[in-house]
Amino acid sequence: MSDVTETTDTSQDFDVEDASLSKGSATDADSSAAPHSRLDDEGDVAADYIEELLDICDLDGDIDIEVTDGRAYISVNASGESNLRVLSRTETVAALQELTRLAVQTKTGEFSRLILDVGGSREQRQRELEKLVDGAIAGIEAGSMSAHLEPMSSYERKLVHDIVAERGFASESEGEGRDRHTVISRA
C-alpha cells in the first residue's frame, strides 16, 4: 500500500504561458486564500488516482503531495522492495502525468497543471536538461549564433530557461504546439 504525505507552500509564482490554458478556473491567488485550496484538492485527487494505479500494477510507493509555485507536485517514491523503475522512464512519466491530469480534470472540472515525479525521474531529467544546455552553450561559445533545442513541455522549457539564465545566456521559446522549443543565444 502507499503512504500519502502532504505539504503546502503557499508562495505563488504564476507562469503566464500556462495561465491561458486554465481560462475559467479560479486564480492561483484565490486558491491560496482558502484553507484547503483548489490545488490541494487537485493533489488529493491525483494521489488517489496514482495510488489506484500502483495497486493495479502491484507496486508499493510513498506518495508525497506538495503545492508550490502555483502547481500541485506529486512525487512517488519507492517503499520497501518496490520496483518503481518500470514507471520512471521519461516517456512513461510524461504519459502518466497526462493521464493523471485528465483524471483530475474529470473529477474537478478544471484544467490541471500538476507535475508528477516517479522515483526521482524529474531530478534525472533536470540533469539531462543541464547537459543539453551545456552542449548548446559550448556550440555558441565555439561560434554558433544560437542553438535550437528539441521540442519539450512548457515545464521543461521553464527549467531550461532557468538553467540558461544561471549560465549567463539568453533564451526564448519559439514555435507552436508540439513544435514549441527553446532557442539559446548570447545575453
Nearest CA among 28, 103, 40 for reference residue 66: 40
Per-residue pLDDT of the chain (187 residues; tens, 9 = 90+): 445 554 444 333 323 233 323 323 333 434 344 446 889 999 999 999 999 999 998 888 899 999 988 889 999 998 777 688 888 888 899 899 999 999 999 999 999 999 999 988 888 889 999 999 999 999 999 999 999 999 998 889 999 999 999 999 999 999 999 999 999 999 9
Write the CB contacts of 161 (distance below 8 Å, at least 6 apart in sequence): 171, 173, 182
Q: Residue 36 has what pLDDT? A: 60
What is d(CA 63, CA 49) in angstroms, rounded to the nearest whole number? 11
Fold of 123-186: Ribosomal Protein S8; Chain: A, domain 1 (3.30.1370)
Nearest CA among 70, 20, 18 for reference residue 42: 70
The dihedral formed by the CA atoms of 67, 71, 73 and 74, expressed in degrees to the nearest 10: 100
Give the domain ranges of the chain. 3-119, 123-186
What is the sign of the dihedral through the CA atoms of 145, 148, 154 and 155? Answer: negative
